[in-house]
Amino acid sequence: MTHSSKAFYWMAIPALLLFVTLHTVPALTGVFFSLTDYAGYGTWTFIGLENYFSLFKDDRILSSYSFTFLFAITTTIIVNVLALGIAMLLNAKIKFQTAFRGIFFIPNVLAILIIGYVFNFIFSNSLPLLGQWAGIDWLSTSILANKDLAWLGIVAVSAWQSIAFSVILYLAGLQTIPADLYEAADLDGAGYWRQFRSITFPMIGAFFTINMVLALKGFLQAFDQIVALTGGGPGTSTESVAMVIFRGGFQGGEYGYQMANSVVYLLVIVAVSVIQLRTLQRKEVDF
């Protein structure tokens, strides 16, 4: 088997080299700059861990972390519940299946400018009309302009936009379930809910894990949709970590400082994902 194992190395090593050159080296360079006062241009000096000390004294950074977590966890749960449901729906014997698959795919392809404009419009014009008609107070004005509710608007739009991505993965997962399992269950007289719990969900467990981890990781890095919907406002109530990094680091000239923030952010994301993987995989049925 030596020649076959040699072939395996040949398959992997060129990719590894490219990856190290184009990803790992830049990442380490970025980490290094977190120890400097580099502005992204011009000269710099090495300042040790000073950026990291300043970070923990910066209340704006801390509040951006708490907003980001609240937002990311809520959206991840909503997206996965809905995406799994829609994937099963699209996989069922429905009429116009192709057309529906196309339609549910659209939000993922729409440009962020469109999404921002259309939903700003819906939130500030259409929904308030509905709210006034129904006499619901909090809905009678734009929820994006409400300091306490704006984040829910962002959750809704982010979920709307990213469900398609999770649906694609869930659909791929549903294809891997052998049909005879359902036939056997039908014969045993298992109900719909029972089939979902004992066949569908366990069989796509790996895809559920992948989707949960990816969604949380993606929403922890949310940026575009927040800029398009609220610009971090009202005030700084919906400012995400990625937004603080971009505004301060690339537009604001505090590159080194925001690199330190990025490193902490990386560690936080990894820690959260590892915990998440451990918990989810324990529940996953290996097949």
Q: How far apart are CA 44 and CA 49, in angstroms?
A: 15
- Give the contact letters, 13-32, x = binds to another protein (CB under 8 A), - = no: --xx-xx-xxxxxxx-xxx-
- Is the separation of the CB atoms in 84 and 215 below 8 Å? no
Query: Which residue type is seen at 40?
Result: G
How far is the first Cα of the chain from the last one, in angstroms, to the nearest whole number? 27
In the complex, the smallest distance separating the C-beta of residue 191 from another protein, rounded to whole angstroms, is 7
Q: Which residues contact 162 (CB under 8 A, 6 or more apart)?
A: 75, 79, 107, 108, 215, 218, 219
Distance (Å, rounded) from C-alpha 47 to C-alpha 38? Answer: 10
DSSP string, 21-44: IIIIHHHHHHHHHTTB---SSS--
Residue span 189-208 as binding mask against another protein, x where in contact by CB under 8 A, dash where not: x-xx--x----------xx-
Instruction: Report the amino acid identity of residue 72.
Output: A
Asked if 234 touches another protein (CB under 8 A), the answer is: yes
Q: How far is the CB of 271 from another protein (least distance, A)?
A: 10
Say whether residue 52 binds another protein (CB under 8 A): no
User: Do residues 237 and 53 touch, judged by C-beta distance below 8 A?
Assistant: no
For residue 127, give both structure tokens.
């929904």
Q: How far is the CB of 285 from another protein (least distance, A)?
A: 12
User: Using CA atoms in the order 279, 281, 283, 284, what is the torsion angle rounded to 10 degrees?
Assistant: 160
- Closest separation between CB of residue 135 and another protein, Å? 17
Task: Report if residue 2 touches another protein, rule: CB under 8 A.
Answer: no
Distance of alpha carbon 9 from the chain centroid: 33
Cβ–Cβ under 8 Å, residues 108 and 161: yes
Number of residues that bind another protein (CB under 8 A): 135
Using the rule CB under 8 A, is 49 a contact of another protein?
A: no
Tell me which of 79, 154, 210, 226 binds another protein, using CB under 8 A.
Answer: 210
Give the contact letters, 246-265, x = binds to another protein (CB under 8 A), - = no.
xxxxxxxxxx-xxx--xx-x
Q: Which of 52, 65, 69, 182 binds another protein (CB under 8 A)?
A: 182
Q: Is 56 in the site for another protein (CB under 8 A)?
A: no
CB of 226 to another protein, least distance (A): 12
Site string for another protein, 123-162 (x = CB under 8 A): xxxx-x------------xx-xxxx------------x--
Is position 184 an interface residue for another protein (rule: CB under 8 A)? no
Site for another protein in 95-124 (CB under 8 A): 95-96, 98, 100-111, 113-115, 117-124
